[in-house]
Amino acid sequence: MAIEILPARLANQIAAGEVVERPASVVKELVENSLDSGATRIDVDIEKGGAKLIRVRDNGQGIPKDDLTLALSRHATSKIHTLDDLEAIVSLGFRGEALASISSVSRLSLTSRPAVQEEAWLAYSEGRDMAVKLQPAAHPVGTTVEVLDLFFNTPARRKFLRTEKTEFTHIDELLKRIALSRFDVSITLKHNGKIVRQYRSGQSVAQKEKRLAAVCGSSFVKHMLHIELEHNGLMISGWITTPEGARSQSDLQYCYVNGRMMKDKLINHAIRQSYEASLSPEQYAAFVLFIGIDPHQVDVNVHPAKHEVRFHQARLVHDFIYQAVAGALAESQYVDAPMLSESAFHYENQSDSTNVLSDMLNKSEKSFNNIPSYPGCVDYDSEHTREKSQEKKTVISHSNDLIRNTSGKYGTSSPSKKEVAAYSQLMETPVKPSLMSDNQAEVPDKENCVDVIAPTKLGKAIAVIKDQYLLMTEDSHCFLLSLEQANLLKLQKQLDPTRVGLKTQPLLVPLSIKLEKNWSSDINQWISVLAELGIQVSVRKQENLVVMSVPQPLRKQNLQKLISDLLSYASRYLEPDNPESLITVVDWLAGYIQRSDSKSGYTLSEAIQLISELEHLWQNQLPLDSRSLVQPVDFSLTIKALHS
């Protein structure tokens, strides 16, 4: 078949397939054009859910008579002129396809008058080539676009329209989103001649709260927190709700990037992660957030309907949003409730603490919140899949996998005094798991046992036993190595301040933590201790602690909670001028990370990788005589059974 140029109407109808999904799509394009024109009042009239009539009238700048013909042409726009403009888009519309595409699948008329003209002009297109015709009209300063009989000439598209009520609901929800983005614009919505919504303009706090209540409901306003943060060209402001204002569905989640409505996976992931420690999987946060960023750092031209954007520094944006939301929740004391009082840390005897410890292990269900990879990152899918599979397994915790939250208003229930006492005692003298009881290890049956000796080095990896132990051979002897203990030793060495190669890594966005009353008055002394570990912090205005950099093992931790828990623990039990305090802090951090990143099982390849890292860090100085790390495997009973 011969190659031919498509007729203008057919080409525009193909473009309409991307731009015009339903009547709400038309309303979106027309209202965004009104906002770009500087309108402060927009009236939207709808009939039959938009299938019969869509009329959008504004008091914007208007379109000169000489430009009306171009306004209905494809790829014609006043909003970009060069490639540089495309790389830094600040307007809502810019493709120059909306009016031409809409007019190709409806009966569209465009009436406009700029302030410099004495009369208005009406433009409409007709015929195969969609030639534009002009005629004078009566109209105030501004523009009115009238769309009649949507999809009248494309019946295949028209039959996919839903009921009148459903289509109008989509339009109503769209205008709610637009109303939240521009408090300075009055918006009126009519359906079949009746006023349904009327959002009055206003810039005061009370007026904004009134519009928030009109769109999001009084419950949102009752539980909302104001948020505002700016750092290195990034800005976030708006409102989030406390966990008490959570909803059973994600119907009150409004986000805007440079004023543009967004449904972005990266943004939603960062916000959801901020609430992970305080909301159950069945709950959804409610928020109205505005993100400001240099237009050169974001690409809005990645989706035909402009619902998505692409950030050039995605990780920076993700962490900025996460820390802003999590920080606001923490500073408002809706996350990480204060630690228990000093009197809660007393216990009666050893047996009581042992029994309490067992109860704590049974209650432990939820790990610490951390910052996983963001959607779009190379390792996100694999991490997400692994987390899903781990949720289906029952994790049998050892005694060093203590309850994850010592307190929390919206997390697990707070432990009793005895539980806290057992926890604090264990932090000083940790109990480590062993594959054999002490009696079995110390008094073997010499008649039935073969000779077993402690290994001098780690040998060849054979298999992973019960997901947590690695069977290894060395000089014809077999040993079981605890992978959890190996991981703990790896973390201890990674955090060792005396190790060559310990480096601090600056945070993309400094983290602000509110100073707690239960932290010691000599907080500056602890700051120097943290600095030796690569944790750079400073006090700002005697109210907040600002975290600027941390060592690599802490990068994926919930630093808001980790630093708070560390300083609370250190203030109660350690002395900053005691040299042993630094060692204790290292052990505490290693145990903390171990518990928050607890694995339900290792594969053989993961175990081999862990051993390789462990040997590299310890440089032939591993404590292989530690029975909590390595246990010899005694095959004597099996051999005896084979010979019987």
Instruction: Please provide the DSSP assignment of 399-432 as one string.
Output: TTS--S-S--SSSSPPP-HHHHHHHHHHHHS---
Q: How far apart, in whole angstroms, are the C-alpha atoms of residue 245 and residue 283?
A: 10
> pLDDT higher for 382 or 241?
241
For the stretch 342-382, pLDDT in tens is 322 233 333 333 343 334 333 333 333 433 344 444 344 44
Tell me how crowded residue 261 is: count the other CB atoms within 10 A of its CB.
Answer: 18
Write the DSSP symbol of residue 479.
Answer: E
- Of residues 69 and 19, more confidence is placed in 69
88 confidence band (pLDDT: 50, 70, 90): low
Confidence of residue 518 (pLDDT cuts 50, 70, 90): low
C-alpha dihedral sign at 9, 11, 17, 20:
negative
Residue-level pLDDT at 193: 95
Instruction: Provide CB contacts within 8 A for 292, sequence distance 6+.
Output: 234, 235, 236, 237, 258
Confirm if 505 and 551 have CB atoms less than 8 A apart.
Answer: yes
What's the predicted TM-score (pTM) here?
A: 0.56
**Is the pLDDT score of 447 beyond 60?**
no
Angle between helices 314-331 and 559-573 (to 10 degrees): 50
Q: Per-residue pLDDT tens for 251-274?
A: 999 999 988 888 888 899 999 988
| DSSP state letters, 127-196 | TTTTEEEEEEE---SEEEEEEESTTTT-HHHHTT---HHHHHHHHHHHHHHHHHH-TTSEEEEEETTEEE
Task: Return the number of other C-beta atoms located less than 10 Å from residue 84's C-beta.
Answer: 9
| Lowest-confidence region among 51-60, 280-289, 336-345 | 336-345
Please report the pLDDT score of residue 171 as a whole number.
96
Q: How many CA atoms lie within 13 A of 226 on its CB side?
A: 5
Q: Which residues pair with 131 in a beta bridge?
A: 126
Please answer whether residues 420 and 340 qualify as being in contact, where contact means their C-beta atoms are separated by less than 8 angstroms. yes
Report which DSSP code applies to 514.
E
Quickly state the pLDDT bin for 428 (edges 50, 70, 90): very low
Report which of 10, 209, 18 is spatially closest to residue 95, judged by C-alpha positions. Answer: 18
At position 144, the amino acid (one-letter code) is T
